[in-house]
Amino acid sequence: MFYSQIFLISLELLLGLIVVLLFQPRWLLRIIEKLSPGVTYFFKTQERIVALSIDDGLDPATTPKILSVLEKYQVHATFFLISSRVEPNPELITELLDRGHEVGNHLTQDEPSVLLSEIEFEAAVIEAENILSKYTRPKWLRPGGGWYKKSTIDIAQKHGYRVVLGDIFPYDTHIPSSWFASLFILCNIRPGSIIILHDTGMWGKRTATTLEKILPMLDRQGYRVVPLSELAHSP
């Protein structure tokens, strides 16, 4: 009897965790925002408008594919760029900006920011900013890996950044399926949502495929897909 109760409790907890992971409920994100003020997961709006953000570029093999799909559907996005991938591709960031997309600071390397000391994190913020500011002045920052500490927020704000994550992350870095990512986004989309997808390598190829699937469907549902700054100023 005792072990069966333990099993049922464990099963309920597991099912609860699965529900949270699959649906990323806003009530939970609101609690997180209150516990750690200074991080944006979504915006409150009555309009059918959502932001598209794409992390980890640039990649000369996959970023142009993503840009081509966005151009096809006349959609603009916020690209959170890793500065070490910007320097070898100056023509690509220029093209990205010329097409009307927005750039955010995603630090210098593809690594979890939460593992960095305060000194290391601030140095990475500054180094990335020095590189990105040759082309534009980003106002958004997304910590590597999506995890953060209070010092992450404090340092970002000190340098004039607003820390942003998102409320729709289709696990595209973990589940190698464009079908799953597309279904996840379409099932969870809500006004004010921030979608997180990824560039580079196979991730970038899948993102281009996913965008080809979801953008016309979001348009049919009456959604406008915009960069973060436009969503932030929506009523």
User: Tens-digit pLDDT profile for the chain (235 aa)?
Assistant: 544 544 433 433 333 334 444 567 888 888 888 888 999 999 999 899 999 999 999 999 999 999 999 999 999 999 999 999 999 999 999 999 999 999 999 999 999 999 999 999 999 999 999 999 999 999 999 999 999 999 999 999 999 999 999 999 999 999 999 999 999 999 999 999 999 999 999 999 999 999 999 999 999 999 999 999 999 998 7
Question: Would you call 55 a catalytic residue per the annotation?
Answer: yes
Question: Would you call 101 a catalytic residue per the annotation?
Answer: no
What pLDDT sits at residue 22?
A: 57
Annotated catalytic residue, options 76, 101, 106, 198 = 198
pTM: 0.91
Distances (CA, A) of 37 to 32, 102, 163, 171, 233: 8, 24, 10, 24, 19
Sequence length of the chain is: 235
What pLDDT sits at residue 30?
A: 87
Q: Is the peptide bond before 35 cis (omega within 30 degrees of 0)?
A: no
What pLDDT sits at residue 5?
A: 45
* Sequence-ordered alpha helix ranges (H) in 100-200: 118-132, 150-158, 178-188
* CATH superfamily entry for domain 24-232: Glycoside hydrolase/deacetylase (3.20.20.370)
Q: Which of 126, 127, 123, 121 is nearest to 147 (CA)?
A: 121
Annotated catalytic residue, options 55, 56, 167, 199 = 55
